[in-house]
């Protein structure tokens, strides 16, 4: 997933110059269903392979499709953020697709 730098403690702190807490994976020519499948693979890989003191690390992912869901760059980021925080509020450790109306 790119170069991860480490602090002296050995804990990854940055990915592509941004805090590891949030990052972007671009999947050109990939529909939303395939993107969701890939996101789930990434989420499961992180949970299976990355641990701190034998405790699995979990992640939440927000998925948006361009141009199907949004038009501009700012809208892409905002939509991904909406889906990400929906995943976190729903218990975390999951992937959520952006939808105009949130599921009930």
More confident residue, 55 or 69: 55
CB count within 10 Å of CB 87 equals 22
Pairwise CA distance, residues 18 & 74, whole Å:
17
Mean pLDDT score of the chain: 78
Model pLDDT for residues 23-68, shown as the tens digit of each residue: 778 888 888 899 899 999 989 999 998 888 988 889 999 999 888 8
* 49, 56 Cβ separation under 8 angstroms: no
Structural domains in the chain, sorted by start: 25-97 (3.30.70.270)
Reduced to 3 states, what is the DSSP secondary structure of residue 4? Answer: strand
């Amino acid at each position: 997933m790119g170069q991860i730098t480490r602090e002296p403690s050995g804990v990854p702190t940055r990915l592509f110059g941004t805090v590891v807490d949030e990052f972007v994976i671009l999947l050109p020519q990939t529909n939303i269903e395939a993107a969701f499948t890939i996101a789930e693979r990434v989420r499961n890989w992180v949970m299976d392979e990355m641990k701190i003191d034998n405790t699995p690390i979990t992640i939440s992912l927000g998925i948006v499709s361009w141009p199907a869901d949004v038009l501009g760059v700012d809208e892409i980021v905002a939509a991904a953020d909406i889906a990400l925080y929906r995943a976190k509020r729903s218990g975390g450790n999951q992937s959520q697709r952006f939808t105009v109306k949130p599921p009930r």
